[in-house]
Amino acid sequence: MAKVSVLNVAVLENPSPFHSPFRFEISFECSEALADDLEWKIIYVGSAESEEFDQILDSVLVGPVPAGRHMFVFQADAPNPSLIPETDAVGVTVVLITCTYHGQEFIRVGYYVNNEYLNPELRENPPMKPDFSQVGPVSTSCFPQGRSLYLGGVQPFKLRVKVTS
Partner 1 sequence: MKLLKPTWVNHNGKPIFSVDIHPDGTKFATGGQGQDSGKVVIWNMSPVLQEDDEKDENIPKMLCQMDNHLACVNCVRWSNSGMYLASGGDDKLIMVWKRATYIGPSTVFGSSGKLANVEQWRCVSILRNHSGDVMDVAWSPHDAWLASCSVDNTVVIWNAVKFPEILATLRGHSGLVKGLTWDPVGKYIASQADDRSLKVWRTLDWQLETSITKPFDECGGTTHVLRLSWSPDGHYLVSAHAMNNSGPTAQIIEREGWKTNMDFVGHRKAVTVVKFNPKIFKKKQKNGSSAKPSCPYCCCAVGSKDRSLSVWLTCLKRPLVVIHELFDKSIMDISWTLNGLGILVCSMDGSVAFLDFSQDELGDPLSEEEKSRIHQSTYGKSLAIMTEAQLSTAVIENPEMLKYQRRQQQQQLDQKSAATREMGSATSVAGVVNGESLEDIRKNLLKKQVETRTADGRRRITPLCIAQLDTGMNATSTPAALSPSVLTTPSKIEPMKAFDSRFTERSKATPGAPALTSMTPTAVERLKEQNLVKELRPRDLLESSSDSDEKVPLAKASSLSKRKLELEVETVEKKKKGRPRKDSRLMPVSLSVQSPAALTAEKEAMCLSAPALALKLPIPSPQRAFTLQVSSDPSMYIEVENEVTVVGGVKLSRLKCNREGKEWETVLTSRILTAAGSWDVHRQVVVVKEESLHSILAGSDMTVSQILLTQHGIPVMNLSDGKAYCFNPSLSTWNLVSDKQDSLAQCADFRSSLPSQDAMLCSGPLAIIQGRTSNSGRQAARLFSVPHVVQQETTLAYLENQVAAALTLQSSHEYRHWLLVYARYLVNEGFEYRLREICKDLLGPVHYSTGSQWESTVVGLRKRELLKELLPVIGQNLRFQRLFTECQEQLDILRDK
* Residues lying near partner 1 in the complex (CB under 8 A): 1-2, 5-9, 23, 25, 27-29, 31-32, 37, 58-75, 109, 142-144, 147-148, 153-155, 158, 160-162, 164
Q: Which is nearer to partner 1, 89 or 99 (CB)?
A: 99
In the complex with partner 1, which residue's Cβ is closer, 64 or 91? 64
SS3 99: strand
CA quadruple 65, 71, 76, 79: dihedral positive or negative?
positive
At 29, give phi and psi (nearest 5°): -120, 140
**Smallest distance, Å, CB 139 to partner 1?**
15
Q: Which candidate, 53, 49, 54, 71, places its Cα nearest to that of 62?
A: 71
Q: Indicate the residue among 41 and 130 with the shorter CB distance to partner 1.
A: 41
Phi-psi region of 110 (alpha: psi -120 to 50; beta: other; left: phi over 0): beta
Distance of closest approach, residue 90 Cβ to partner 1, in angstroms:
28
**By C-beta, is 27 or 87 nearer to partner 1?**
27
